[in-house]
Amino acid sequence: MRVIRVGTRKSQLARIQTDSVVAMLKTLNPGLQFEIVAMSTTGDKILDTALSKIGEKSLFTKELEHALEKNEVDLVVHSLKDLPTVLPPGFTIGAVCKRENPYDAVVFHPKFVGKTLETLPEKSVVGTSSLRRAAQLQRKFPHLQFKSIRGNLNTRLQKLDELQEFSAIILAAAGLQRMGWQNRVGQILHPEECMYAVGQGALGVEVRAKDQDILDLVGMLHHPETLLCCIAERAFLKHLEGGCSVPVAVHTAIQDGQLYLTGGVWSLDGSESMQETMQATIHVPAQHEDGAEDDPQLVGITAQNIPRAAQLAAENLGTSLANLLLNKGAKNILDVARQLNDAH
């Protein structure tokens, strides 16, 4: 019996996410055995610096890719938002799993339970490690102060509860749900308050690009609607050349054969912003279809069982929206954000 080795980060959330993917694969392939290999990444080790300052695109993925390259593991499970829009040569995202709640959530210090960001006292400190969240929320809630908070979910919740430093922290709702901590969610932030990160709430399975057996195995996990939304989002980010060091956010929806993509860019303090929405007609297949095996990847993703035309339409939508923003002056906002972030 073949043993499939699955790489993951060591954090509790990463393990839960990996276990969920392995469970789906086991259901589809009862004859296979799976072994989970956990490892620490750069992003897990450098905990005293804001993510946007470390200046490394593959913070949470590099060590895992190294194991994939050396054939120590066959596939790696990531949060899709941690995967850069351009992967190193030889790797591809072979599955984009069904997205959970993509929104951000607010967890309040016990003494502020029942409050919202709007009703927190003046000068309350809110913890977030994301420039994207801080920029949007500063614009929306100017009476609050935003401060970087790092560490895995357990660490951040502990810092919130035990130190008297933070009145609230912002986390991805999907992570809290997967950890079973829904009871801590005091507020869900909707797009008009805070749009989410590219790929947020979805899991991506990274594999060796030439490993057709493993591509076939994980390709069954592609969720067509999530895949097409995330191709559009990733194409938007890629064309803007955004990463951890600039505030870029999105919102996608598919309705009646239309894919709607809203994208925005912000200055670091949120004072300047630019947002636009575009749509494209798209065919979302009800189930997987056979595609060509030699299709090149789009924004790092290989999906041989989803119609190519739909994928290209999604990619084109993301690129077109980025061009619209760039033509309206988004590059200037992003360049200044990048320079300011590098200078601090």
Buried/exposed 12-37: b ≥16 CB within 10 Å, e otherwise:
ebbeebbbebbebbeeeeeeeebeee
pLDDT tens sequence across 8-33: 988 889 999 999 999 999 999 999 99
| Rounded-to-integer distance, Cα 263 and Cα 275, Å | 6
How many degrees, rounded to 5, is the angle at CA 177 between CA 175 and CA 182? 120
Q: How many CB atoms sit inside 10 A of residue 44's CB?
A: 17
Q: What is the DSSP letter of 266?
A: E
Given this model, what pLDDT does residue 56 score?
43
Which is more confidently placed, 343 or 232?
232
Per-position DSSP letters for 106-154, written without gaps between them: EEE-GGGTT--TTTSPTT-EEE-S-HHHHHHHHHH-TTSEEE---S-HH
**For residues 176 and 189, is the Cβ–Cβ distance under 8 A?**
no
**For residues 61 and 75, is the Cβ–Cβ distance under 8 A?**
no
- Mean pLDDT for the stretch of residues 294-322: 93
- pLDDT tier, 60 (very low <50, low <70, confident <90, very high otherwise): low
Given this model, what pLDDT does residue 203 score?
98
| Rounded-to-integer distance, Cα 270 and Cα 209, Å | 39
Given this model, what pLDDT does residue 152 score?
82
Helix (H, G, I), strand (E, B) or coil at 37: strand
For helices 131-140 and 330-343, the axis angle rounded to 10 degrees is 110
Average pLDDT over the chain reads 90
Contacts of 25 (CB under 8 A, 6+ apart): 4, 32, 34, 217, 218, 221
Which is more confidently placed, 151 or 180?
180
pLDDT tens sequence across 111-121: 999 999 999 99
Backbone angles phi, psi at 328, to 5 degrees: -95, 5
Given this model, what pLDDT does residue 47 score?
45
Given this model, what pLDDT does residue 129 score?
85
Closest by CA position to 186, among listed 85, 117, 235, 275: 117
- Mean pLDDT for the stretch of residues 155-164: 93
* Of the listed ranges 2-11, 15-24, 207-216, the one predicted with least confidence: 2-11
The pLDDT > 70 percentage for the chain reads 91
Q: What is the DSSP letter of 40?
A: -
**For residues 329 and 270, is the Cβ–Cβ distance under 8 A?**
no
Given this model, what pLDDT does residue 198 score?
96
- Mean pLDDT for the stretch of residues 34-62: 61
Given this model, what pLDDT does residue 39 score?
85
Buried/exposed 254-272: b ≥16 CB within 10 Å, e otherwise:
beeeebbbbbbbbbbebeb
Which is more confidently placed, 344 or 79?
79
**For residues 165 and 139, is the Cβ–Cβ distance under 8 A?**
no
- Mean pLDDT for the stretch of residues 90-94: 95
What separation in angstroms does the CA of 211 have from each of 229, 293, 298? 25, 11, 17
* Of the listed ranges 78-92, 192-206, 317-331, the one predicted with least confidence: 78-92
Q: With 50 as the cut, is the pLDDT of residue 272 above it?
A: yes
Given this model, what pLDDT does residue 338 score?
84
- Mean pLDDT for the stretch of residues 163-189: 96
Closest by CA position to 309, among listed 327, 339, 289: 289
Given this model, what pLDDT does residue 50 score?
52
Given this model, what pLDDT does residue 54 score?
39
Helix (H, G, I), strand (E, B) or coil at 317: helix
| Rounded-to-integer distance, Cα 93 and Cα 64, Å | 13
Q: With 60 as the cut, is the pLDDT of residue 44 above it?
A: no
Q: How many CB atoms sit inside 10 A of residue 185's CB?
A: 16
- Mean pLDDT for the stretch of residues 207-223: 96
Q: Which domains does the chain possess?
A: 3-101+198-343 (3.30.160.40), 104-188 (3.40.190.10)
- Mean pLDDT for the stretch of residues 293-320: 92
Residue type at 19 in one-letter notation: D
Q: Which residues are catalytic?
A: 82
Closest by CA position to 171, among listed 76, 186, 122, 96: 186
- pLDDT tier, 46 (very low <50, low <70, confident <90, very high otherwise): very low
Given this model, what pLDDT does residue 51 score?
46
- pLDDT tier, 290 (very low <50, low <70, confident <90, very high otherwise): confident
